[in-house]
Chains A and B, each alone.
Chain A
């Protein structure tokens, strides 16, 4: 079992729709969870971070965390073509170096 799992996609949604991205993780000791967006040929940029169960909203983005189910998701409301990118789920390992483990990413395509 991979430490952080994501559906590789592509996930295709029309402009204005809600995009739902999912991620599961295996280490129950993980404390913090992050969603990064990566455009082709660029380095990842942080979209959301969450460490408490429940929802966290920031603009059009909502991160949801369920530690009991070891599940974290990202909702993107009113999707725009500029949201088309690969979304990486990252989980911090409960080690001294606070190492981040990344999923393989979900490619999101938003069509005009």
Chain B
């Protein structure tokens, strides 16, 4: 149980274009999903917390107008990188929080990640 599917696994786009990344919880409803970014040889940095039916909560220093998050259903959250530039090239990973108190026991389930390369 607690499977999170993330697509695409990799994407190459031209500078100035937008890219959408999808994160789906396959066998549970996720009221909260998290989006992380990881640069080479660095740890995961939380970008934003995505809440179903409400606005996302962004971490300090993350541009909400550049990284658009939509969590329209209990099983789907999307991250759109708008007007992407080479410095946005990174590994983007989503994770979902299982319902209730399960997170205390089982942690979070991560998607497989999306490697974005902006050329």
Which residues of A pack against B, CB within 8 Å?
31-32, 34, 36, 41-46, 49, 51, 88, 90, 92, 97-105
Contacts and interface: CB of A to CB of B under 8 A. Distances in A.
A90 B93 CA distance: 15
Contacts of B6: 43
Contacts of A104: 42-43
A102 B43 contact: yes
A32 B108 CA distance: 11
B46 A101 contact: yes
A44 B49 contact: no
- Size class of B's contact patch? 20 to 34
Nearest to B31: A97
B70 interface: no
Interface stretch (B13-21, B76-84, B109-117): B109-117
Nearest to A32: B104
A102 B113 contact: no
A105 B111 CA distance: 19
A35 to B, nearest CB: 9
Interface string B53-93: 00001000000000000000000000000000000000101
A51 B104 contact: yes
B119 interface: no
A98 B97 CA distance: 8
A42 B46 contact: no
Contact of A43 (B93, B97, B104, B107): B93
Interface of B: 6, 32, 34, 42-44, 46, 49, 51, 57, 91, 93, 95, 97, 103-113, 115
A41 B104 CA distance: 27
A46 to B, nearest CB: 5
A45 B115 CA distance: 17
Given A43-B113, A98-B97, A105-B43, A49 B107 contact: yes
Contacts of A92: 103-104
A88 B44 contact: yes
B8 to A, nearest CB: 14
B104 to A, nearest CB: 5
A43 B111 contact: yes
A90 B49 contact: no
